[in-house]
Structure 1
Amino acid sequence: MSFSLSTVFRPLTRAVTYTRWLHQLIASVAGTLAGFVHGGTFRSTGMEVWLWIAVLPVPVLLAAALIPAVRRVEGLQAQLLLTPGPQGPEERAGTGISTSPSLSWRDRGRTAGWLLLRLAVGVPVSALTVQLPVLSFAFLQAAAGHRTHFRGLPAIDAPHGWYALLVPLPLVVLLAVAVWAGSLMAAAAGRLLGPSAAERLAVLEARTERILEHNRLAQELHDSIGHALTVTVLQAGAARAAGSPEFTDRALAAVEETGRQALTDLERALRLLREDVPHPAARPVLADAERLLESARAAGSTVRAELSGPLAALPGPVSREGYRMVQEALTNVLRHAGPVPVSVRIAADADALELEVRNPMPASPAPAAVGRGLRGLRERAALLGGKAVAGPDEDGEWRVHARLPLARLR
Structure 2
Amino acid sequence: MLSLLLPLTHAVTYTRWLHLLMGAIVPLACAMVFPGLGSPSPGDWALIAVLPLPLVLAVAMIPSVRRAEGLQARLMLFPGPHARVKSDEQPGVSAAPSASWSDRARTGAWLLLRVETGLAVALGTERLMALALSLAGAAAGEPGVADPLVPHAGGSWVYVLLIPMPLLVLVAASAGAGALMARAARRLLGPSVKERLSELEERTEQLLERNRIARELHDSLGHALTLAVVQAGAARTAADPRFTDRALEAIEETGRAALDDLEGVLLALRERQRPAGTRPGLGEAGSLLDSARSSGAHIDAEVSGSLEHLPGPVSREAYRMLQEALTNVLRHAGPVQVRVRIVVERARLRLEVRNPLTAAASAAGSGGGSGLRGIRERATLLGGEARAGRDGNQWLLRVDLPLG
Same fold (TM over 0.5): yes
Which whole-Å CA distance do the structure 1 matches of 2:222 and 2:164 have between them? 75
1:238 to partner: Cα distance? 1.2
Q: Give the secondary structure class of the aligned counterpart of 1:312.
A: coil
Q: Percent of aligned positions with the same letter in both sequences? A: 53
Task: Give the counterpart of 2:220 among 216, 221, 224.
Answer: 224
Q: Which residue of 1 aligns with 2:381?
A: 383
Preserved CA contact (<8 Å) 2:137 2:145 = no
Alignment gaps of 5+ in structure 2: none
| 2:38 pairs with 1:40 | no
Preserved CA contact (<8 Å) 2:131 2:149 = no
Q: Which residue of 2 aligns with 1:68?
A: 63
Which whole-Å CA distance do the structure 2 matches of 1:92 and 1:50 have between them? 41
1:281 to partner: Cα distance? 7.3
Task: Give the counterpart of 2:298 among 281, 298, 302.
Answer: 302
Q: Which residue of 1 aligns with 2:402?
A: 405
Q: Give the secondary structure class of the aligned counterpart of 2:184.
A: helix
1:332 to partner: Cα distance? 1.2
Q: Which residue of 2 aligns with 1:53?
A: 48
Preserved CA contact (<8 Å) 2:23 2:115 = yes
Please list, as runs of the form range in 1=range in 2, the aligned pairs for 1:4-403 lying within 5 A after superposition. Answer: 4=1, 6-36=2-32, 38-86=33-81, 94-139=90-135, 141=137, 156=151, 159=153, 164=159, 167-277=163-273, 279=275, 282-362=278-358, 364-367=360-363, 368-370=365-367, 371-394=369-392, 396-403=393-400
Q: Give the secondary structure class of the aligned counterpart of 1:99.
A: coil
Which whole-Å CA distance do the structure 1 matches of 2:164 and 2:222 have between them? 75
Which whole-Å CA distance do the structure 2 matches of 1:244 and 1:138 have between them? 102
Q: Deviations over 1:252-286 (max 9, x none)?
A: 11111111111111111111111245647711100
Preserved CA contact (<8 Å) 1:16 1:83 = yes
Q: Give the secondary structure class of the aligned counterpart of 2:300.
A: strand
Alignment gaps of 5+ in structure 1: none
1:393 to partner: Cα distance? 1.6
Letter in 1 for 2:47: W
Preserved CA contact (<8 Å) 2:133 2:145 = no
Structure 1 residues 294, 52: closer, same or farther in 2, change over 3 A? Answer: same
Which whole-Å CA distance do the structure 2 matches of 1:161 and 1:181 have between them? 35
Which whole-Å CA distance do the structure 2 matches of 1:224 and 1:129 have between them? 67
1:44 to partner: Cα distance? 4.7
Q: Give the secondary structure class of the aligned counterpart of 2:366.
A: coil
Preserved CA contact (<8 Å) 1:303 1:341 = yes
Structure 1 residues 249, 159: closer, same or farther in 2, change over 3 A? Answer: closer
Q: Give the secondary structure class of the aligned counterpart of 1:311.
A: coil
Which whole-Å CA distance do the structure 1 matches of 2:366 and 2:43 have between them? 80
Structure 1 residues 139, 228: closer, same or farther in 2, change over 3 A? Answer: closer
Letter in 2 for 1:234: V
After alignment, is 140-149 or 260-269 more displaced?
140-149
Which whole-Å CA distance do the structure 1 matches of 2:274 and 2:237 have between them? 47
What TM-score comes out, normalization by structure 1 length?
0.89
